[in-house]
Amino acid sequence: MRLLKTTLLLLFCLLLTGCSSFQMSLTDMMQAPRLTEDQAEIYEAVTGAVGNADVQLKYPRQGKYRSAFVLFDLDADGQEEALVLYNVPSRGDNVRIMILDRPEEKWVPVYDAVGEGTDVTELDFRRLTASGRYNILVGWEKGTSSNTHVSVYDYAAQQLKVLFESDYVQMLLEDIDLDGQDEMLLTVFRANSQLGTLMLINETPEGLQTVSRVFMENNITGFLNVQVGQLAEGHTAVFVDANTGAGEVCTEIMVYSADGLLCNLNSLQPKLNQTFTRYQPVLCEDIDGDGIFDIPVPLDPYDEMEESVPEEDGRKNLICYLRLSDALPLTELTLEENGRALEEEVFLFEPAWSGFVSLDHSYRLQFPARWIGQIQVEKASDRSEWLFSLKAGGVEPPVLLRVRVYSQDEPRDVFDNITYEFLKKRGLYEYYAAPVQSEDVPPEMAIGLGEVKSGFSIIDNK
């Protein structure tokens, strides 16, 4: 044991002294992952086919498939093919796709093609057609464009065919009509005009095509999120959250109609543009778990929300989630070929959840009904703590509740005379609350620890 410790110490010292035998360069540390035996055989077949040792593997930057080598049954013959993403700098900057088969225990290249970009943002395999085969989806990075480019391929009879191509910012694949095939949703953003577009791509008798193209009502500076969910029972919609040119966040709802097209609800009822605008990048979600998506809006809005509003002012953090209260207008919603709704209807929304949301520390607190419209929130100075107090004009309002967040390594103030009760722990954060019981607090507005715990929840940052 003593010999082992001595040996380890000697090795450590040699590393510190920069001995050439143990020197590690940054390049060595940043090398691509070591290849498996299968991958090494495939790589050897690629370099042999290319006839050039200057082969660089390309790894997708996001998504489920992050490897330059993917084994997948592309032609639905029961045997896996190998798909390799690579390029040869001496022959051009664009990424190439090579497909290899293994007929007799040896990988053999059967197809090679030039891709549409210099890097791969993502790679996926989805059934978008009725062929029974999985389609190959590749997101390409093209120069300095703010949009990515997607190519959808079909591989059959050792041939790779392009079925669809488009620029996009965000891509969402969902089986919206529950027919066993995914539909493709793409958002496209034109920075020079602050114009956002949502496209629905589906299989048609003429092939994979854009069947619906919807323009956003708001001028936007970028997309935040795109989700598919239920606007009401039996009524599917696409919920698009985006940043606006005014520095705010908006939501536009694209209803999936009975004829398989998208209709922008905001265009039918323009007042929804203002209703669904807020100051915090809080996203749509099913806040109460009833299967229906809810839209966040300001709980306590005021006319002008300037950037100069101090950080300790909690009005931006007061959020109300709205849900559609009457689904009847959706039942007859169909579209003409030009995309205009046949009938304009009034869509009414009602509160589903109201309370405080902190995106900085990933938590929220649902208010009891008696608090709604009666509470103001202020951040305590130099602390990760919020004070919830009664609204009062001209006098110091009584504090009803304190909610505090400690980071893992943050020292606790031993001289603090406030008793905080533990709520939850998430990662590096611990959440505590201190309900205030005093004669200054009206009994009907007081809140107990049990009520705080039932209304407190962690935000799942996906």
Same domain? For 394 and 313 the reply is: no
Rounded-to-integer distance, Cα 73 and Cα 69, Å: 13
Q: For the chain, give the percent of residues with pLDDT over 90.
A: 67
Least confident of 138-152, 261-275, 288-302, 422-436: 138-152
Q: For the chain, give the percent of residues with pLDDT over 70.
A: 85
pLDDT at 312 (0 to 100): 73
Same domain? For 327 and 200 the reply is: yes
Same domain? For 453 and 379 the reply is: yes
Q: With cut-offs at 50, 70 and 90, classify the pLDDT of residue 1.
A: very low
Residue 226 lies in a domain: yes
Same domain? For 257 and 323 the reply is: yes
Residue 2 lies in a domain: no
Among 308, 284, 309, 314, residue whose Cα is nearest residue 296: 284
pLDDT at 393 (0 to 100): 65
Last residue of one domain, picked from the residues 145, 166, 187: 166
Burial degree of 167 (CB within 10 A; 0-12, 13-18, 19+): middle
Same domain? For 145 and 40 the reply is: yes
Burial degree of 72 (CB within 10 A; 0-12, 13-18, 19+): middle
pLDDT at 194 (0 to 100): 87
Over residues 282-302, the pLDDT tens digits come to 999 999 999 999 999 999 865
Helix (H) or strand (E) holding 93: none
Q: With cut-offs at 50, 70 and 90, classify the pLDDT of residue 12.
A: very low
Token code pair at residue 454: 């039932």
Rounded-to-integer distance, Cα 330 and Cα 242, Å: 24
Give the three-state DSSP class for 462. Answer: coil
The number of folded domains in the chain is 3
Rounded-to-integer distance, Cα 188 and Cα 196, Å: 6
Same domain? For 346 and 442 the reply is: no
Q: With cut-offs at 50, 70 and 90, classify the pLDDT of residue 32.
A: very low
Q: 253 or 416: which carries more pLDDT confidence?
A: 253
Q: 323 or 3: which carries more pLDDT confidence?
A: 323
pTM of the model: 0.85
pLDDT at 4 (0 to 100): 43
Q: 221 or 104: which carries more pLDDT confidence?
A: 221
312: domain range?
Answer: 169-352
Residue 10 lies in a domain: no
pLDDT > 90? residue 221 = yes
Q: Residues 6 or more apart from 93 whose CB is under 8 A from it?
A: 87, 118
Residue 98 lies in a domain: yes
Mean pLDDT to the nearest integer, 66-91: 95
Least confident of 31-45, 50-64, 142-156, 287-301: 31-45
Residue 364 lies in a domain: no
pLDDT at 153 (0 to 100): 98
Rounded-to-integer distance, Cα 72 and Cα 125, Å: 9
Q: Which conformational region is residue 194 in: left (phi greater than 0), alpha (psi within -120 to 50 degrees), or beta?
A: left
pLDDT at 207 (0 to 100): 95
Same domain? For 143 and 212 the reply is: no
Last residue of one domain, picked from the residues 124, 151, 166: 166
Last residue of one domain, picked from the residues 297, 322, 352: 352
Mean pLDDT to the nearest integer, 258-273: 90
Residue 5 lies in a domain: no
Rounded-to-integer distance, Cα 211 and Cα 168, Å: 16
pLDDT > 70? residue 8 = no
Query: Which CATH number goes with the domain that contains 99?
Result: 2.40.128
Same domain? For 329 and 185 the reply is: yes
Mean pLDDT to the nearest integer, 314-318: 91
pLDDT at 342 (0 to 100): 43
Same domain? For 173 and 150 the reply is: no
Same domain? For 188 and 323 the reply is: yes
Residue 394 lies in a domain: yes
pLDDT at 167 (0 to 100): 93
Same domain? For 263 and 181 the reply is: yes
pLDDT at 411 (0 to 100): 73
Q: What is the mean pLDDT of the chain?
A: 86
Mean pLDDT to the nearest integer, 13-36: 41
Residue 21 lies in a domain: no
Q: Residues 6 or more apart from 125 whose CB is under 8 A from it?
A: 65, 72, 74, 134, 135, 136, 137
Same domain? For 344 and 405 the reply is: no
Over residues 325-373, the pLDDT tens digits come to 988 888 766 655 444 444 556 899 999 999 999 999 999 999 999 999 9
Cβ atoms of 185 and 199 closer than 8 Å: yes
